[in-house]
Structure 1
Amino acid sequence: MFHAAPSPHGDRRTPPPPGKQRDAFFDNAKYLAIVLVAMGHSWEPLKGDSRVLEGLYQVVYAFHMPAFIIISGFFSRSFDMRPDRLRRLITGVVVPYVLFETAYSLFNRYAGDTPDQEISLLDPWYLTWFLIALFVWRLTTPVWKLIRYPLPVALVIAALASVSPEIGDDLDLQRVLQFLPFFVLGLRMQAEHFQWVRRRWVRIASVPVFAAAVVAGWWAVPRMDTAWFYHRDSAQELGAPWWTGPVMTLALFGCSLLLTACFFAWVPRRHLWCTALGAGTLYGYLLHGFVIKGADSLGLFDPAWLHAPLGEVFVTVLAAAAVTLLCTAPVRRVFRFATEPTMAWAFRPDAAQAARERERAEPSRARGEDSREKVSA
C-alpha cells in the first residue's frame, strides 16, 4: 500500500529529489487496489442476499490485499535498522496503528454494536491489522534478505500457522504469518518482474482468467467458506481437517498470484487523473472504515432496493467515490497529524543522517559556486 519510503498503502512527507520521480504504475496500482478494498467492504452487508455478489467478493478478496502486500514488500527492499528508517517505521506505521486502533475501538463502542468494546493494542479491530502486520514484516526484512530460500521458508511458516489454532488473536498473528509469503515475494522482486506482466499476451490472457475466476467464485459460494480468503483463522477453527490448512495455503497462494498478475497487467503505466491519489492510499485505507461501519450502524444498508442488482451497483460506485475523496490532498492535510506525524521532538538527532545531508549539499554548493565563477568570467 505504500510507496518507496517505508510508510504504508502511503505517501512521502517530502517531495522526491530532483530526477527521482514517483512511478505512475505503482501509484495507479495502489489507487485501484484501495478502491477494490472499499468496494469489498461495502459489499459485506449486501452479499448475503446475492450469490453473484458473494462470488465477486471472493474473487476480489483473493488478490486485492496480496497486491498491496507485494507492493509493500517491493518498496521495503532497502529497509534496514538505520535510525532514519526506524523513525519512519515508527511514525508511518506504529503511531498510526496506536491512534487508529484506539479510534476504531471507541467508534465501535459508542457508534457501533459493541458497547463493551475494549481498547486493546494487542487485538487489532477491523482493518488496523495491516499496520501491525507491516510493522512485523518490515522488522524481519533483514532476515528475509539474508537467508537463501526466503519464499519457501515463508510458505512453510504460513502453512504451519494454518494448522496452529493456539496462535490466538494477539496482534492478528494468523494474518501476519499467513500473508507473509506475499511480502517476502515482494522483497525478492525486481522492477523488471512488473514489466513481464505488461506483455500484450499476458493482458489478453488475463481477460479469460478473470472470467473463469468469477465463474469459479460463483460455483464456490455454497461449497467454500469465504473466511479462507481472510487468512485470519486456522483450518481447525474453520471446521476443516488440519491437513486442509497447508493445502489451502498453497492453493490460495497460487490463485492469488495468478489474479494479482492479471491485475498488474491491466494497471496503466501512464499518469492519469487518479495517479496522484496513489500517494494517499494510507488515508483512504484507514479512514474509509469509519464511513462503511458508520453507514452500517445507521442502517443505511437496510433498504431492500440496495439488495437488488441496481442497488448493489449504486453502493459499489458510492464506495469507490468515497475512498477516492479520502485519498485527496485536502483530506491528507487534515489527517496528516495522525497518519504521518513528524514527531521530531521524540527522537534524538541522527548524526549519520546529518552527515549524509551535508554530503548531498556540498556538490550542490560546489555546482553553484562554479556557475557563479563562470558568470563572473
Structure 2
Amino acid sequence: MTGSPPPPTERPAEQTMALRLPRQGAAPKQRDAFFDNAKYLAIVLVAMGHAWEPLRADSRAVTALYMFVYAFHMPAFILIAGYFSRNWDGRPDRVRRLITGVLVPYVIFQIAYTYFLRRLDGNDNDYLPLFEPRWLLWFLVALFIWRLTVPLWKAVRWPVPLALGLAAVATASPTMGGDLQLQRVVQFLPFFVLGTTLKAEHFRMLRRRSARLLALPVGAGAALFAYWAEPRMEYAWFYHRGSAQELGEPWWVGVLMTFALFGCSVLLTCCFLALVPGRHGWFTALGAGTLYGYLLHGFLIRGSVEWGWYEPELMRDTPTALLITSVVSAVGISLLCSTPVQRLLRPLVEPNMRWFFRPEEKRPPAPKGTEAATTGTATAGAATAAPTPAERNG
C-alpha cells in the first residue's frame, strides 16, 4: 500500500546507542524515587532510635519499640549500600570516589566528634584516636572495608552463607573488636553481602500489592514479639558490636543469635521496603542527603542530653516524651538532609580533592559491534559506582 511504513529493520549498534541518549535540551534521567524514599525513611528511624535512648530506662514499651526499630533500620541501610556497591571493581575512578566520599569524611568527623564529646565531658585529653571510631562513625569504616571486599563476594559460589559464617565466628570471639570496631564490621557484613547479590527485580517483588498487605501484619507481630522479649532478651544484641561472652552468654548462643537475628532483620527489612512509597514525594529529594543527616545528627543527639533537653517536667511523661522526641528528631534530620545544608557542608562531606588525584584517563571505546550489548552494564556500573550521600549511608 502506498504510504505504508517500511518493514522494521535491525538497527546497527551505533544507532541503537544514539537513540538511548537524551536529546539536546531533554531533562536528565531522574533518580529512582523508591530508593531515595527508602533511605530517607531509614535515616528518620535512625534519628528517632537515638532520640529514644534516654527514655528506655523508664518504659518497657519504649525499649520494645527501640528493639523493633533497631532490628531493621541499619540492616536496611546496609543492604541498600550493598546493592549500590555490587559493581565495585577497584577501578581508579571508583577508588577515588571511595576515598573522597567515605574515608576523608570519616577522618574529618572523627576529629570533630572527638573534640565535641570531650568538650561535653570536660575532658582535656589531646589523644586523637583515628582508629577507634566515635559512636556512629563505625559505619563509614565498615562501608570502606565492605566495598574493598566486593570482588571477593562476586567470585565465590555462596557469598551470603560465607559472610554469615564469618559473622557467627565474630559473635563467638571475645578477642575481636577494639580498633576499627571490627565486631560490627563483620557482624553486619552479611547484610551488605546480601545487597550485592540482589537485582532490581527483587525490589520490584517487594513493591507488589501482596507484599504490602503482608508487611503490616508481619511488622505488627514483630513489634508485639519485641514487647514480649524485652524483659527476656538483652537489647544490645541488635548493636552487633560485642561477643556473646561480653553479653554474658556462652559462645554457642552467639552463633545461634547470628542466624536468628539475620533472619529476623531480613524479614523486617523486606516489610519496611514493601511499605516504602515508589512515587516522588515532598521528602524524596532528601534521600540524596542522608549522609549529611547521619553525620550531623549525632551532635544534636549527644548534646541534647548534656544540655538538659530531657529534664523538663513535660519529658517525665513517657508517651508525651516519646511523641516529642519522635517529632523533633524527624524534623531535625529532615533539615540536616536538606539542599542548603548539603551545599554548605559539601567540602567536608563530599570533598573534590582534584589536587590530590591524577587526572582521570579516558577509557577507550568498546569494540564496534559490542557497544549495544554493553551499554546497559556500563550504565549500571557508573550509576552504582558513585557513592551518593544516601548510598554511602545506607
Counterpart Cα distance in 2 of 1:57 and 1:103: 27
The one-letter code sitting in structure 1 at the alignment partner of 2:355 is W
Counterpart Cα distance in 2 of 1:178 and 1:119: 26
Q: Which runs of 5+ in 2 are unaligned?
A: 1-25, 367-394
2:334 to 324, 327, 331: 324
Residue 101 of structure 2 corresponds to 92
Instruction: Name the % identity.
Output: 58
CA deviation digits over 1:254-275, x for unaligned, max 9?
0001100000000000000000
Counterpart Cα distance in 1 of 2:364 and 2:283: 36
Residue 362 of structure 1 corresponds to none
The one-letter code sitting in structure 2 at the alignment partner of 1:175 is R
Q: Is the 8 Å Cα contact of residues 124 and 171 (structure 1) preserved in structure 2?
A: yes
Counterpart Cα distance in 2 of 1:252 and 1:169: 23
CA deviation digits over 1:240-285, x for unaligned, max 9?
1110011000000000011000000000000000000000000000
CA deviation digits over 1:69-101, x for unaligned, max 9?
000000001111111000000000000000011
2:40 to 31, 40, 51: 31
Counterpart Cα distance in 2 of 1:147 and 1:36: 34
Q: CA deviation at 1:305?
A: 2.3
Distance change >3 Å, CA 327–CA 265, structure 1 → 2 = same
CA deviation digits over 1:313-334, x for unaligned, max 9?
0111000000000000000111
Counterpart Cα distance in 2 of 1:184 and 1:113: 41
Residue 389 of structure 2 corresponds to none
Map 1:44-123; keep pairs closer than 5 Å: 44-112=53-121, 116=125, 118-123=127-132
The answer to whether structure 1 residue 22 and structure 2 residue 8 are counterparts is: no
Residue 369 of structure 1 corresponds to none
Map 1:282-361; keep pairs closer than 5 Å: 282-308=291-317, 309-352=319-362
Counterpart Cα distance in 2 of 1:118 and 1:192: 49
Structure whose CA Rg is larger: 2
Q: CA deviation at 1:350?
A: 2.3
Distance change >3 Å, CA 354–CA 315, structure 1 → 2 = farther
Residue 218 of structure 1 corresponds to 227
Map 1:231-250; keep pairs closer than 5 Å: 231-250=240-259
Residue 14 of structure 2 corresponds to none
Q: Which runs of 5+ in 1 are unaligned?
A: 1-16, 357-377
Distance change >3 Å, CA 248–CA 117, structure 1 → 2 = farther
Counterpart Cα distance in 2 of 1:353 and 1:338: 29
CA deviation digits over 1:276-312, x for unaligned, max 9?
0000000000000001111111111122421421121
Distance change >3 Å, CA 311–CA 348, structure 1 → 2 = same
Distance change >3 Å, CA 326–CA 354, structure 1 → 2 = farther
Distance change >3 Å, CA 322–CA 196, structure 1 → 2 = same
1:182 to 191, 194, 204: 191
1:228 to 237, 242, 249: 237
TM-score for both structures, normalised by structure 2: 0.84
Moved more, 344-353 or 282-291: 344-353
Moved more, 221-230 or 307-316: 307-316
The one-letter code sitting in structure 2 at the alignment partner of 1:278 is G
The answer to whether structure 1 residue 164 and structure 2 residue 173 are counterparts is: yes
CA deviation digits over 1:136-163, x for unaligned, max 9?
0000011111111100000000000001
Counterpart Cα distance in 2 of 1:353 and 1:169: 42
Distance change >3 Å, CA 225–CA 117, structure 1 → 2 = farther
Distance change >3 Å, CA 67–CA 121, structure 1 → 2 = same
Counterpart Cα distance in 1 of 2:126 and 2:209: 51
Counterpart Cα distance in 2 of 1:107 and 1:217: 34
SS in 1 for 2:136: coil
SS in 2 for 1:111: helix
The one-letter code sitting in structure 1 at the alignment partner of 2:354 is A
Counterpart Cα distance in 2 of 1:32 and 1:115: 38
Q: Is the 8 Å Cα contact of residues 105 and 117 (structure 1) preserved in structure 2?
A: no
Count of matched residue positions in the alignment of Structure 1 and Structure 2: 340
Residue 155 of structure 1 corresponds to 164
SS in 2 for 1:272: coil
Counterpart Cα distance in 2 of 1:29 and 1:79: 22
Distance change >3 Å, CA 237–CA 203, structure 1 → 2 = same
Q: RCO (CA 8 Å, sep 6+): is it higher in 1 or 2?
A: 2
Moved more, 339-348 or 209-218: 209-218
Q: Is the 8 Å Cα contact of residues 112 and 293 (structure 1) preserved in structure 2?
A: no
Q: CA deviation at 1:118?
A: 3.9
CA deviation digits over 1:219-260, x for unaligned, max 9?
111111111000000000111111001100000000001100
The one-letter code sitting in structure 1 at the alignment partner of 2:326 is T
